[in-house]
Amino acid sequence: MRARWAGPAAAAWLCLGAAHAQSVPVLAPSVEARIEALLARMTLEEKAGQLNLISNEPLNDPGAIRRGEVGAVINFSNAWLAAEADGAARASRLGIPLLVGLDIVHGYRTIFPLPLALAASFDPGLVRRAAAAMARESASAGITWTFAPMADVARDLRWGRVVEGLGEDSWLTGRLTAAQVEGFRDGGLASTLKHFAGYGAVLGGRDYDATFVAPSELHDLHLPPFRAGIRAGADAVMTALTALNGVPTTADAGLMTGILRRQWGFSGLVVADWQAVASLVKHGVARDGAEATRKALAAGVDMDMTSGLYLRHLPDEVRAGRIPEAAVDAAVRRVLRLKFGLGLFERPPIDPAGAESRLLLPETRRIAREAARASLVLLQNREAVLPIDPERVRRIALVGPFADAAWDQVGPHEGNGQPQDTVTILTGLRERAAASGVEVVFAEGCPRVCTERTGFAAAVEAARGADLVVAVMGEPRDRSGEGSSTAYLNWPGLQHDLLAAVAETGKPVALVVFGGRPTELGDAPERAHAMLMAWIPGTEGGPAIAETLFGDVSPSGKLPVSWPRTVGQMPLTYDALPGGRPHLPGSRWTMGYADESPLPLFPFGHGLSYTRFAYGEPEVLTPKVGVGDRYEAVLEVRAPVTNIGPRPGRAVAQLYLGQPVASRSRPKRLLKGAVLLDLASGETGTAHFRIPARDLGYHEPDGTLVVEPGEYRVGIGGDSAGPRMVSFTVETGWRGPPGGDQAQR
Ligand code: NOJ
């Protein structure tokens, strides 16, 4: 097995048997031998217990853990609860410790921006550090396993869970999924890639609805981020609650065993999503719990989350000869391997008394603030209203229902996040403004979700008396996350009326757009001079936004999703196929709508800065690439990037690839790389890319990777709409075996 934290835990094990003395180290039996020794002592019930994950519910039988009927828990979300549960497991006959799981999606107590917001940084290093900081904090409270990252590629903003993933693009999702896996490991948590597979394609964006994905699309778009996460060392994979092409993933042997284990060689743990084993009955593929159990285990699902069916049925099913005990043993081995790999058998019991002091540490908050800053996307900035110039702006009117919204800043999937820890935008702005001698007058205008106008007059008055209006408007936390899909993408309540009222004072308006995902902006781009996408920014969102408004940092975030004009455009992604009748404005018989442009309001990859960057012509250093037998061949391209504006700033140089003529129609542009360059005013840097030539390929329905010889195009620029494309040639192509490798479209 792969050595994980081969530090203190491994050393402790080598000395085991002499644990209380510093005497002669004994030769450690291998982990596999220890697993076999445990298995040999386990009853069928104890084996089923290892495959049983329970939630923290009031109705739980308090003796179940002590009887060895539980292998893992979820939602024991503070150190006292975790310590009690794990203590009961250690007191069971075999003393096998628990996996203590929780959804650490964007933090435990210190809340970071949601993953979609973090993705806007386009910065794997930062994403990794953020994940490590979240992991350290949660591990200090006894958590050992997170149900993250979500590697689903989200193609429809109506899907509430778009906020939990890393955007619409497969390459970016894969790159940042891998970074999260690495970060969680750095910080001491086991990770789970979820939801395998296709969940991001739910029909109409409706959570839990069916998914239909053509096999080649599955291999091109949805599977690569999982593969990237597995390569980065993910410990577990979670099924989806959905049925993919008619087969619930929790019963899909082709997916769980065929692709995941056989093609990719994944040897970690497969866990069902919440009650997903029981839901096989509702899906209509199992008559009862016993059949659901048989189907899930046979498909390759090792652990049952919260339906209790494995515990109830596995022993009898094995005794009746309907499930081979070897299949149960194989699943138990995977659970035990993870526990050994995490060092749980060697760890001292959880210490709840000390946990509190390890939460909200200054270093954790510092990384949360850095992450919040890096996620901000400057959508527009007319007349350079931003950054705020304290010479000209002496008083700011701060309005809008999300200016002082601590709980909304925490957002969904909150871990153990608390509103009282949040620094709101109001607090952050007041503090930062005071440092420059600028006054902030706060007049909310309307309370959260903005159903009444009684506060409008005060907001308008504040605007009149100010040099700049900062308006914080958008969506509350409960319009994104699991079970929060929406049919609309508009702002709730009367917020647009409030924006109109303050804008009509004639004072410049900087709009801070709040919410988990892009929303319909209506007339906001005309009303507001500047627009800064703040997402759901977490505990340190207030200072991060204030510092950015004042220009202490220049925004560098880029949209990881296309920003639509209206919900009616859903789904809308930058990597569409060219089509036989590509869109021509004003031309009826080309792709589009009679009543709206088919183009986004802001394209994927868009994001301004307080400075400007000029991208030079890309130079292809490998004008002829041969994939063929030189499978490790790379495409090498570079382009000069110059900061032509007045301030320092970070350029996010994005590399897009296309294959103009192929055996099948391919997207005009696909993101395949991003380089971050910090440049002083006037400075030129080089965006240098080395792209594995296999990334040029696409997949056949069985997963065969095909890189065709012929002409390709590559462009480097600041968003998906802009880059000039230049040609290069692939001289010898490649056909990889199914699962042999994964490229993207
Ligand atoms: C259901 C969600 O789909 C999954 O992502 C999550 O990890 C589990 N609930 C546990 O909270």
Q: What are 50-78's pLDDT values in tens digits? A: 999 999 998 889 899 999 999 999 999 89
pLDDT at 439 over 80: yes
CA 134 vs CA 125, 203, 651: distances in Å: 14, 32, 27
Collapsing DSSP to helix, strand or coil, 77 comes out as coil
Mean pLDDT of 153-160: 97
Alpha carbon of 276 to ligand 1 centroid (Å): 10
The protein residue whose alpha carbon is closest to atom 3 in ligand 1 is 273
Mean pLDDT of 173-179: 98
Residue 629 has a pLDDT of 55
**H or E stretch including 648?**
none
Q: Among the options 273, 304, 421, 741, which is catalytic?
A: 273
pLDDT at 5 over 90: no
Residue 477 has a pLDDT of 97
Residue 624 has a pLDDT of 85
User: Same domain for 385 and 520?
Assistant: yes
Residue 72: which region, alpha, beta or left (left: phi > 0; alpha: psi -120 to 50)? beta
User: Same domain for 341 and 422?
Assistant: no
User: Mutate which of 74, 269, 306, 482 to test ligand 1's pocket (most atoms within 8 Å of Cβ)?
Assistant: 482
Alpha carbon of 312 to ligand 1 centroid (Å): 22
CATH number at residue 647: 2.60.40.10
pLDDT at 21 over 70: no
Q: Of 355, 390, 421, which residue is a domain's last?
A: 355
Alpha carbon of 173 to ligand 1 centroid (Å): 19
Which pair of structure tokens corresponds to residue 99?
A: 């996996």
User: Same domain for 347 and 397?
Assistant: no
Mean pLDDT of 648-657: 98
Match 């097995």 to its residue by tokens.
Answer: 1
Is 123 in the active site?
no
Query: Taking CB atoms and a 6 Å cutoff, what residues make up the pocket around ligand 1?
Result: 74, 103, 147, 194, 241, 273-274, 482
pLDDT digits (tens, 9 = 90+) for 589-603: 999 999 999 999 999
Q: Is residue 13 part of a domain?
A: no
pLDDT digits (tens, 9 = 90+) for 321-361: 999 999 999 999 999 999 999 999 999 989 899 898 999 99
Number of domains in the chain: 3
C-alpha torsion sign, points 286, 290, 291, 296: positive
Q: Which atom from ligand 1 is nearest to the alpha carbon of 240?
A: 3
Q: Which atom from ligand 1 is nearest to the alpha carbon of 147?
A: 7
Q: Which atom from ligand 1 is nearest to the alpha carbon of 195?
A: 5
Alpha carbon of 241 to ligand 1 centroid (Å): 9
pLDDT at 15 over 60: no
Alpha carbon of 708 to ligand 1 centroid (Å): 40
User: Same domain for 626 and 546?
Assistant: no
Q: At what angle do helices 362-375 and 124-139 cross, to 10 degrees?
A: 150
Residue 559 has a pLDDT of 99
User: Same domain for 382 and 314?
Assistant: no
CA 302 from chain centre, in angstroms, equals 24
pLDDT digits (tens, 9 = 90+) for 660-682: 999 999 999 999 999 999 999 99
DSSP bridge partners of 639: 687
Residue 26 has a pLDDT of 60
Residue 85 has a pLDDT of 96
Q: Which atom from ligand 1 is nearest to the alpha carbon of 192?
A: 7
Q: Of 512, 534, 554, which residue is a domain's last?
A: 554
Q: Is residue 585 part of a domain?
A: no
Q: Which atom from ligand 1 is nearest to the alpha carbon of 241?
A: 3
Collapsing DSSP to helix, strand or coil, 106 comes out as coil
Collapsing DSSP to helix, strand or coil, 195 comes out as strand
Indicate the range of 14-28, 555-569, 628-642 predicted with least confidence.
14-28
Q: What rounded mean pLDDT belongs to the chain?
A: 94
Q: Which of 632, 639, 621, 600 is nearest to 724 (CA)?
A: 639
Alpha carbon of 480 to ligand 1 centroid (Å): 14
C-alpha torsion sign, points 227, 228, 232, 237: negative
Owning domain of residue 654: 613-735
Tell me the C-alpha distance between 314 and 324, whole Å: 10
Q: Which of 198, 195, 113 is nearest to 148 (CA)?
A: 195
User: Mutate which of 55, 77, 104, 147 to test ligand 1's pocket (most atoms within 8 Å of Cβ)?
Assistant: 147
DSSP bridge partners of 670: 657
User: Mutate which of 106, 238, 274 to test ligand 1's pocket (most atoms within 8 Å of Cβ)?
Assistant: 274
Which pair of structure tokens corresponds to residue 705?
A: 């990777």
Mean pLDDT of 172-189: 98
Q: Of 355, 385, 403, which residue is a domain's last?
A: 355
The protein residue whose alpha carbon is closest to atom 8 in ligand 1 is 274
Residue 722 has a pLDDT of 79
> Count of CB atoms within 10 A of residue 221's CB?
28
Tell me the C-alpha distance between 188 and 140, whole Å: 9
User: Same domain for 321 and 432?
Assistant: no
Match 């390709």 to its residue by tokens.
Answer: 712
Q: Is residue 419 part of a domain?
A: yes
Q: Is residue 508 part of a domain?
A: yes
Residue 452 has a pLDDT of 96
Tell me the C-alpha distance between 96 and 103, whole Å: 22
CATH number at residue 523: 3.40.50.1700
The protein residue whose alpha carbon is closest to atom 7 in ligand 1 is 147
pLDDT at 8 over 80: no
User: Same domain for 98 and 227?
Assistant: yes
Alpha carbon of 297 to ligand 1 centroid (Å): 19
Tell me the C-alpha distance between 13 and 29, whole Å: 9
pLDDT at 401 over 70: yes
Residue 43 has a pLDDT of 98
Residue 460 has a pLDDT of 98
Largest CA distance in the chain: 85
The protein residue whose alpha carbon is closest to atom 1 in ligand 1 is 274
Tell me the C-alpha distance between 532 and 519, whole Å: 13
Alpha carbon of 238 to ligand 1 centroid (Å): 9
Tell me the C-alpha distance between 327 and 270, whole Å: 13
DSSP string across 341-353: HTTTTTSPPP-HH
User: Same domain for 383 and 336?
Assistant: no
Q: Which atom from ligand 1 is nearest to the alpha carbon of 75?
A: 11
Angle at the Cα of 305 from the Cα atoms of 254 and 130, rounded to 5 degrees: 90
CATH number at residue 116: 3.20.20.300
Mean pLDDT of 368-397: 98
CB 226 within 8 A of CB 237: yes
Residue 17 has a pLDDT of 29
pLDDT at 618 over 70: yes
Q: Which residues of 610-625 are buried (b: 16+ CB within 10 A; e: fewer)?
A: bbbbebeebebebeeb
User: Same domain for 257 and 292?
Assistant: yes
pLDDT at 282 over 70: yes
Q: Length of the chain in residues, anyone?
A: 745
User: Same domain for 322 and 412?
Assistant: no
User: Same domain for 156 and 119?
Assistant: yes
The protein residue whose alpha carbon is closest to atom 11 in ligand 1 is 103
Q: Is residue 720 part of a domain?
A: yes
Q: Is residue 104 part of a domain?
A: yes
User: Same domain for 350 and 377?
Assistant: no
User: Mutate which of 53, 55, 103 to test ligand 1's pocket (most atoms within 8 Å of Cβ)?
Assistant: 103
Q: Is residue 547 part of a domain?
A: yes
Q: Which atom from ligand 1 is nearest to the alpha carbon of 194?
A: 5
Residue 694 has a pLDDT of 85
Mean pLDDT of 93-107: 98
Q: Is residue 240 part of a domain?
A: yes
Alpha carbon of 82 to ligand 1 centroid (Å): 18
